C-alpha cells in the first residue's frame, strides 16, 4: 500500500520542529503531518484509506455539519460515563499532561529514529481528515465530522493538526488556547464529546482535562 501524497523520513527528535518549519514554508500549498514511524505506516494506510468516498464529497458533507448539534448530542450521550459530579471545579485533581507523542517511543522513553511526515495537498489544515478519508472507528466520528470540528477549532483556537497516526491518534498545536476556567470547561465538554477516551482513559475527570487545556499549546486525542 502506498499513500497517494508526498512523504519524507525525518529523525523523530527533529520531527516537530521540521513540521513547524514546513508549515511556515508551505502555507499556500500543503499541510505537513507526522504519521509516526515507518513500522506502523501500513496500519496507518489501512485506517486512512478504508472509506471509498471521494475527498470532494467528504468536504461537501463537512460544510453541512452543525458542530454545536454534534457536541450537544455527544455530551447528552456520553456524560453518564463521567464520574459523579465531574462537571465543575471541585475535586482539584492535578491537570492531565498534554504533550505530543507520535514522534516519541514511550516504551523505550526515546525518540523514534525516523518518522514519516506527509505533505497533505491542501493548505487548509482542517481538511486533513478528509484527505485521509478517516472513517468512524472506536467511537471516532466520520471524516466529515472531523473536518467540520477541526475547522471550528481552527477558527476559534488556531488549532492545527500536526500528527495523525494509525494508532488512531490525532495531535494539534494550538495558537490561541482558552485562558480561563469557564472557557476551558466548555472546551473540555466538546473535547470529551469528540473523544471520550481523552477522559475515560486519560485525564480520568473532566475537570482535570479542563485544567490541562488552560493556556496549553498542545492537544492530544486517542480513540481506542
| Span 161-209, pLDDT tens digits | 999 886 678 999 999 999 999 999 999 999 999 999 888 888 888 888 9
Instruction: Calculate the alpha carbon distances from 4 to 34, 44, 117 in Å.
Output: 15, 13, 13
Position 40 in a domain: yes
Position 185 in a domain: yes
Average pLDDT rounded to a whole number, residues 98-124: 87
Position 192 in a domain: yes
Position 47 in a domain: yes
The pLDDT value given to residue 167: 63
Average pLDDT rounded to a whole number, residues 38-60: 77
The pLDDT value given to residue 113: 93
Instruction: Tell me the pTM.
Output: 0.89
Position 1 in a domain: no
Q: How many domains does the chain have?
A: 1
| Span 76-101, pLDDT tens digits | 998 888 875 555 555 555 555 567 77
* Cα angle for residues 75, 77, 83 (degrees, 5° grid): 75
Distant-in-sequence, close-in-space partners of 192: CB < 8 Å, separation ≥ 6: 74, 75, 78, 82, 198, 199, 206, 209
The boundaries of the domain holding residue 64 are 6-222
Amino acid at each position: 500500500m502506498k499513500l497517494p501524497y508526498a512523504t519524507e523520513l525525518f529523525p523523530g527528535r527533529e520531527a516537530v520542529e521540521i513540521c513547524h518549519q514546513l508549515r511556515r514554508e508551505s502555507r499556500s500549498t500543503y499541510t505537513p503531518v507526522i504519521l509516526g514511524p515507518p513500522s506502523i505506516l501500513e496500519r496507518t494506510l489501512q485506517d486512512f484509506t478504508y472509506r471509498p468516498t471521494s475527498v470532494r464529497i467528504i468536504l461537501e458533507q463537512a460544510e453541512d455539519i452543525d458542530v454545536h448539534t454534534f457536541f450537544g448530542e455527544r455530551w447528552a450521550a456520553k456524560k453518564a460515563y463521567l464520574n459523579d459530579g465531574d462537571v465543575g471545579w471541585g475535586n482539584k485533581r492535578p491537570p492531565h499532561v498534554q504533550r505530543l507523542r507520535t514522534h516519541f517511543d514511550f516504551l523505550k522513553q526515546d525518540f523514534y529514529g525516523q518518522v514519516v511526515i506527509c505533505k497533505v495537498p491542501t493548505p487548509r489544515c482542517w481538511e486533513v481528515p478528509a484527505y485521509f478519508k478517516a472513517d468512524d472507528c472506536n467511537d471516532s466520528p466520520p471524516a466529515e465530522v472531523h473536518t467540520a470540528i477541526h475547522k471550528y477549532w481552527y477558527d476559534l483556537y488556531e488549532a492545527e493538526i500536526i500528527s495523525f497516526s494509525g494508532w488512531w491518534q490525532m495531535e494539534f498545536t494550538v495558537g490561541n488556547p482558552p485562558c480561563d476556567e469557564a472557557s476551558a470547561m466548555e472546551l473540555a465538554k466538546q473535547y470529551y464529546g469528540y473523544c471520550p477516551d481523552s477522559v475515560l482513559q486519560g485525564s480520568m475527570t473532566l475537570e482535570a482535562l479542563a485544567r490541562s487545556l488552560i493556556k496549553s499549546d498542545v492537544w492530544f486525542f486517542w480513540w481506542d
